[in-house]
Chains A and B, each alone.
Chain A
Amino acid sequence: MIKFENVAKRYGDTTVIKDLNIEINDAEIAVLIGPSGCGKTTTLKMINRLIEPSSGAIYINDQNILKADPIELRRNIGYVIQQIGLFPHMTVEQNIGLIPTLKNWPEDKKTARIRELMELVGMPPEEYMSRYPNELSGGQQQRIGVARALAADPDIILMDEPFSALDPITRVQLQDELFNLQQELHKTIVFVTHDMDEALKLGDRICIMRDGEVLQFDTSENLLRHPAHGFVEEFIGKKRMWQQPEYIKAEDIMITNPIKATPSRTLTQALEIMSSSSVDSLIIVDDKNKLLGIVTAKQVRSNANKAKRLEEIYERDIVSVKLDDSMADILKLMAQNDVGYVPVTDEQGRLRGLITRSSLVNVLGDRYVGEE
């Protein structure tokens, strides 16, 4: 765990970081993001003490790193910087083996580790070990950069805009590779970027900074759904949430006042309610608003005896969704069960809304067309 406690950084009169208090959990990718000059890189570099804080304390696993030996500290933290980070005068092998060399590992252990890492990042050792960085493409160089950071198997890896110099296709590829690597390795990764798509894609939690302050440090879902600050919303982009179907929940797309009836209503009354509200189905709830079932106009009309009560005919076996089910799941459910509507309930089974095909079209239409 990395913990910043009241950390500030000042250069003369200018304050770059104001009273920073964040905790980065083990085995998570924490993304620091914000406009340039927000202090994200400064924050990152304070973790390996390339920049010393003016005040406050930084703890790694409850050890105050400001009291540790910086050389030793850095050798135990992986560090990946932009493309330029590889040493051009060293071969791929020497670059990856640098920290093991600094740590005086025996030669055979070092070679074995280098081979292992090259396999891990998908670069066959036989082919690439003795090459120089300028003989590799940008994407390959950065793979080596990642391998180098992993060399001494550090728990913490700092990445300072590692993919920003790459072309978009290679960037996406490396993001995927990093994500997959992380599933295997479970490192604590602190990742600085200015690319919101990258942050949303990689970050378990995202720390949005501006002018040396943390505005919000939260999961991508919470950032999208509950931005704590106008700037956060603006920075992420208001439309962003609607581009991530998994973050759109039932409550975002449902009709909040569906037409409902209690089971004790007669069929005549039911028809009356439907026609006055111009709907062709009623949701059946009990007096505590608990979802019981649904009845359609067709079912009602096919019964000759209109004095019957709804409780005798309504459909009890229906699919319903919870408030926080995602739109992707709901659409799948609707397709699988071939239904045109799903009631939405809360955890207690109480009716909160209704999603129908036409409500989906209306809501999404508003979002995508209305904002342009």
Chain B
Amino acid sequence: MAIAIAIGVPAGILITRVNKLSSTVIGIANAIQAVPSLALLGFLIPFLGIGTVPAIVMVFLYSLLPIIKNTYTGLSNVDSAMIEAGRGMGMTDSQLMRMVQLPLALPVIMAGVRISAVTGVGLTTLAALIGAGGLGQFIYRGISMVNNQMIVAGAIPAMILALLVDFALGLVEKAVTPKGLKNTNGKEVEA
């Protein structure tokens, strides 16, 4: 997950800077997303074998798209007047990115990270198929034994885990969102 952020955000930044790349990069990320997850797992086995490593790689690949896409959308939707104000005050490109564009795009980028995290948790249950263990094991055992209780025993904790991750990231998002961008409830603004 951290790796996905580490690669996805810079990739998103890069394609905002170099516009020509944007459709290619987003296209590739889209294509990966479009591969059925089961097929992707199977496809990875010849290269990475079975176990935890291919499971992590799969989750990483699926996480990329929402992060890249949201970073790109977030950055390209920053008001051009803001960018011009920054540039007009003598910011270099990197200062502009660090001090203006990234902070303003942060809520959208964080939304991408949350989507990635939740789908990621859901996906890891599949990893049981290639022997990575985890909650998925209960689910598959339950399916093969036609034991609904066992399916539920795996599914519910997985759901709770996903919700917890989302909740935790929600807190992170709140903490990192610049205060001035939040609604200021009830504060008087006098003329």
Contact = CB atoms under 8 A, between A and B. Distances in A.
Interface of A: 45, 48, 50, 70-76, 79, 81-82, 84-91, 98-99, 102, 132-137, 139, 148, 158, 170
Contacts of A84: 79, 81-82, 85
A325 B136 CA distance: 95
Nearest to B179: A132
A132 B189 CA distance: 11
A102 B191 contact: no
Contacts of A86: 85
Contact of B82 (A87, A102, A132, A136): A87
B191 A137 contact: yes
Contacts of A139: 191
Contacts of A132: 179-180, 184
Given A50-B88, A71-B90, A90 B81 contact: no
Contact of A102 (B85, B91, B103, B184): B91
A85 B180 contact: no
The 8 closest A-B pairs by CB, nearest first: A89-B178, A132-B180, A75-B90, A74-B90, A79-B88, A85-B85, A89-B103, A84-B81
A102 B87 CA distance: 12
17 contacts: A50-B87, A72-B90, A74-B90, A76-B90, A79-B85, A79-B88, A84-B81, A87-B85, A87-B99, A89-B103, A89-B104, A89-B178, A89-B181, A136-B189, A137-B189, A137-B191, A148-B89
A45 B90 CA distance: 13
A96 to B, nearest CB: 11
Interface in B142-189: 178-181, 184, 187, 189
A246 to B, nearest CB: 31
Interface residues of B, number: 26
Contacts of A71: 90-92
Given A70-B90, A79-B88, A148-B89, 13 more contacts: A50-B84, A50-B88, A79-B85, A81-B84, A81-B88, A84-B82, A87-B99, A90-B178, A102-B90, A135-B184, A135-B187, A136-B189, A158-B88
B77 interface: no
B95 interface: yes
Contacts of B100: 87
A188 B86 CA distance: 21
Nearest to B190: A137
A61 B90 CA distance: 19
A249 to B, nearest CB: 40
Contacts of A82: 81
B114 to A, nearest CB: 20
A90 B82 CA distance: 12
Interface string B51-86: 000000000000000000000000000010110111
A118 to B, nearest CB: 16
B110 to A, nearest CB: 14
Contacts of A158: 88
B84 to A, nearest CB: 6
A135 B92 CA distance: 28
Nearest to A50: B88
B90 A85 contact: no
A252 B103 CA distance: 60
Contacts of A79: 85, 88-89
Contacts of A98: 89, 99
B98 to A, nearest CB: 12
Contact of B85 (A81, A134, A135, A137): A81
B84 A102 contact: no
B12 to A, nearest CB: 19
A236 to B, nearest CB: 30
Nearest to A72: B90
Interface in B82-129: 82, 84-92, 95, 99-100, 103-104
Nearest to B87: A50
A99 B84 CA distance: 14
Contacts of B79: 84
Contacts of B89: 74-75, 79, 98-99, 102, 148
Among A98, A139, A148, find the residue whose CB has the most chain B CB atoms closer than 10 A. A98
Contacts of A88: 104, 178, 180-181
A325 B100 CA distance: 54
Nearest to A78: B89
A41 B74 CA distance: 28
- Residue among A99, A102, A158, A170 facing the most chain B CB atoms (10 A cut-off): A102
